[in-house]
Amino acid sequence: MEAMVDANTITDVIDVLSHMKRQNGAVTEDFIHGPSEFEVREQNIQMPLLSKSLRRLRASRDLFQILLKIYDSKIDVIENKCTPYFLKKGIKSLPDDVLRHVFEVGYEEEDIRECTSFSTHVSSISRRFRRVALESPRIWTRLHNYMSRKLLRLLISRSKDAGIHIHLTDLWYPVNDGLEFMRVAVSECRRWETFMFHFTTPQIGLSTCQTFSNLNLPRLSTLSLRCSYYDATESEVAGSIASIWTLPSVRYFTIHNANINGTTSWTSLSSFDIILDNLYEEDKWDMWQVLRGVGGMPSLESLSLHFIAVSGFDTLSGMESFRLTVPNLRTLTYIFECCDPELVLTPLLGKIILPGLLNLKVEFRGCEIDSGIWVGFLFEGSNPYPSLRNFALKQYDSILNECELDMVQNAVPSLKHVSLEGLCTYVSPPDPGHSWETLRINHLDYMDEETITSIAETLMEDPAFKRLDIIRCRRVSLRCLMALKARMGSKLFYEL
């Protein structure tokens, strides 16, 4: 890479670096421009000075970008030359148990269709690697219905007594109903730990599963049922799979565009994720059908509701008197994607009773409502979350109205920890005497120095306050953060 840089620009950059050296490496904003530019009050004189400074700063920035590209290129070249050597030398010196762990981590990082290639590759590098790989049953445990019978039997043999992860799908080409795969896999069904069902046409997969009905899966802890799109009939089909087998140990359950049988008992289930997707269909979800299964989950501790392009619900007949109490639920997550959150959630407010809820997490993704989103709708009613201690709010490509922290604290007196991430809106300070212990502010582009100072002062007034995190808020300068740090000490953590 070749580039020409003006000599005056080089001089400017050298001056900045020299100033940094004199300050023993301390970096501040003050020495990258002349203070006199801002001390001049006469606008006719100040503007030419500022214009000149702007040209110099841009030229210096361009120089650093050129250097950055050169440094990155050099680093890539050196890493490409050195990494294989040091990896080979380093990995060879690792004890067997550590090497086995490295294999397992690498295996888990691979896609379901590539993980077997990883295992086969590491087992062919050397005799020692092969021995360790063959003594590592967990790198041979992920099976899918597009494997050949020969490969399937080999993996089952090498996985020994380790838990097996089953992936049954029709998404890949050519379409495969998985019948031959299941004939082999069910021979080890007592070792199944994960079963993932992902079909465009669930009836095909259901027919395969029904061929092997009444299976007892004592080690199965994770179950995932997914349809590629919403269809009322197909969603019922996918959900019915959960009722044809005996599942005494399932703890983690995910359904995507599927309903489950409300009569099924899930005594061991601790985590339930529901994804409702109306991207490709005009049909609306019947929320009663979706939620009725939660009543059969007495040990449920974590519930996630992810709404994608949901414009509302089908008839709410029966919902008027519907009340669902989830006594042991500790964490509730709402994810609203490309929809109107208030329209989606309002019919459910007051219907789900959560006396022991400790953590509420809310994400807005691509929710561009013309009138904006008012966060307060989450807290309507009289003390809706009586035990809530942690509230996390995230925003991605969405339009929010003002986020009123005083409204949140008044609605939930028990709240102790608040986290705000990605909000592009004004955040008003809480009232004094808030009794919060921590507040985390991450990537808030509208957070200015006056507001953050006001928030910090309010927090400091309360003896219960312990920590304020300010992470990459671009309108808050280093000078402001350092001034707050001087006053708050260890109670402030910041990152530019």
Q: Mean pLDDT, the chain, as a whole number? A: 84
Residue 369 to residues 142, 313, 401, Cα–Cα distance (Å): 42, 18, 10
Q: Greater confidence, 472 or 383? A: 472
Burial tier of 65 (Cβ tally within 10 Å: 0-12, 13-18, 19+): exposed
Q: According to the model, what pLDDT value does residue 403 have?
A: 80
pLDDT tens sequence across 116-143: 999 999 899 889 999 999 999 999 999 9
The confidence score (pLDDT) of residue 469 equals: 96
Q: What is the pLDDT of residue 261?
A: 66
Average pLDDT of the segment spanning 369-392:
84
Contact 168, 144 (CB under 8 A): yes
Which pLDDT value is given to residue 428? Answer: 76
What's this model's pTM, rounded to 2 decimal places?
Answer: 0.78
492 bridge partner residues: 468
- Is residue 334 within 8 Å of 308, Cβ to Cβ? no
Least confident of 185-194, 210-219, 265-274, 369-378: 369-378
Nearest residue to 240 via CA among 293, 167, 185, 168 = 293
The string of DSSP letters for 187-227 reads: GGGGGEEEEEEEESSHHHHHHHHHHTTT-B-TT--EEEEEE
| Residue 18 or residue 472, greater confidence | 472
Two tokens at 42? 């006469």
> pLDDT by residue (tens digit) across 55-108?
888 888 888 888 888 888 888 788 777 666 656 667 777 888 988 998 999 999
d(CA 140, CA 277) in angstroms, rounded, equals 34
Kindly report, residue by residue over 445-463, the tens digit of the pLDDT.
888 899 999 999 988 988 8
Lowest mean pLDDT among 147-156, 367-376, 473-482: 367-376
Output the pLDDT for position 296: 81
Angle between helices 127-134 and 115-122 (to 10 degrees): 130
Q: What is the pLDDT of residue 270?
A: 94
